[in-house]
Amino acid sequence: KNEVEQSPQNLTAQEGEFITINCSYSVGISALHWLQQHPGGGIVSLFMLSSGKKKHGRLIATINIQEKHSSLHITASHPRDSAVYICAVKREDTGNQFYFGTGTSLTVIP
Amino acid sequence: EPEVTQTPSHQVTQMGQEVILRCVPISNHLYFYWYRQILGQKVEFLVSFYNNEISEKSEIFDDQFSVERPDGSNFTLKIRSTKLEDSAMYFCASIGGAYEQYFGPGTRLTVT
């Protein structure tokens, strides 16, 4: 059983396009984390959300708690944005562990 | 910006051998996690560690695994008798305010 589902699994975009990656979850959560995993394997935290919207540079993350859904948007995409984007949730009923989605692999073509 | 470090970056070991993976978390953090990621699969939680003891562990974290903070800075994950299926990337994460996670670069463990 996968508590966290991401879509699409793979995404190819032209440089400059607006990108949306979706994350749906089936449990009550206290926090949602968007992460970026580089081709070499390293993982970088992008956003931690519990409500509303956050923006950092060209990245925007939103969450709708009632609909159990979050989106990560990338504006003016660039080839350096190519990476796997991972959604992870902290359940509100099972302590402090995070449950991860399988990731969305993004390739931005120049 | 403070960072989490992990050593070694790559460890090759034979089945049945013990391995120790090391992490140096961010110095003023008190909460640490270990995760693993089998090649091509999602990241999985192994264990969380708070105030020098295990806070929570997953089903994966069986008797073959242990964690320690031997000297107040290093944070180690030990696998007592490695199996082929332990081959994976192992990530340490150091937890800041609001459960924001700072990941180390990972250790790639290959069991032959």
Tell me the mean pLDDT per 10 residues along chain B, length 112. 91 97 90 94 93 89 92 89 97 85 95 98
* 3-state helix, strand and coil shares in percent for chain A, rounded to the nearest 5: 5, 60, 35
Determine phi and psi for A69, rounding to 5 degrees.
-150, 140
- Which residue, chain included where needed, has tokens 């391995």? B19
What per-residue confidence (pLDDT) applies to B95? Answer: 87
pLDDT tens digits, one per residue of A5-38: 999 999 999 999 999 999 999 989 989 999 999 9
A46 touches chain B (CB under 8 A): no
Quick one: what percent of chain A has pLDDT higher than 90?
81
CB environment A69-86: b (16+ within 10 A), e (fewer): ebbbbbeebeeebbbbbb
Does residue A68 have a pLDDT over 90? yes
B91 touches chain A (CB under 8 A): yes
Quick one: what percent of chain A has pLDDT higher than 70?
99
Q: pLDDT grade, residue A1 (50/70/90)?
A: low
State mean pLDDT over A39-55. 91
Which of B39, B85, B92 lies closest to B62, judged by CA? B85
User: Which pair of tokens denotes residue A67?
Assistant: 């609909």
Of A88, A96, A102, the CB nearest to B56: A96
Please say whether the beta carbons of B15 and B83 come within 8 A: yes
A14 touches chain B (CB under 8 A): no
Contacts of A1 (CB under 8 A, 6+ apart): none
State mean pLDDT over A85-89. 96
What per-residue confidence (pLDDT) applies to A93? Answer: 80
Q: Which amino acid is at A25?
A: Y
Task: Please indicate whether, in this complex, the C-beta atoms of B99 and A48 are within 8 angstroms of each other.
Answer: yes
Task: Please indicate whether, in this complex, the C-beta atoms of B42 and A100 are within 8 angstroms of each other.
Answer: yes
Q: How many Cβ contacts (< 8 angstroms) between chains A and B? A: 58
Task: Please indicate whether, in this complex, the C-beta atoms of A31 and B48 are within 8 angstroms of each other.
Answer: no
What angle is formed at CA A82 by the lines to CA A56 and CA B36, rounded to 5 degrees? Answer: 90
Kindly report the number of other CB atoms within 10 A of residue A57's CB atom: 8
What per-residue confidence (pLDDT) applies to B99? Answer: 73
What per-residue confidence (pLDDT) applies to B109? Answer: 98
User: What does the alpha-carbon distance between residue B102 and residue B31 come to, in Å, rounded to a whole number?
Assistant: 11
What per-residue confidence (pLDDT) applies to A85? Answer: 98
Task: Please indicate whether, in this complex, the C-beta atoms of B100 and A45 are within 8 angstroms of each other.
Answer: yes
CB environment B74-107: b (16+ within 10 A), e (fewer): ebbbebeebeeebbbbbbbbbbbeebebbbbbbb
User: What does the alpha-carbon distance between residue B60 and residue B76 come to, in Å, rounded to a whole number?
Assistant: 17
Q: pLDDT grade, residue A4 (50/70/90)?
A: very high
User: What does the alpha-carbon distance between residue A52 and residue A63 come to, in Å, rounded to a whole number?
Assistant: 6
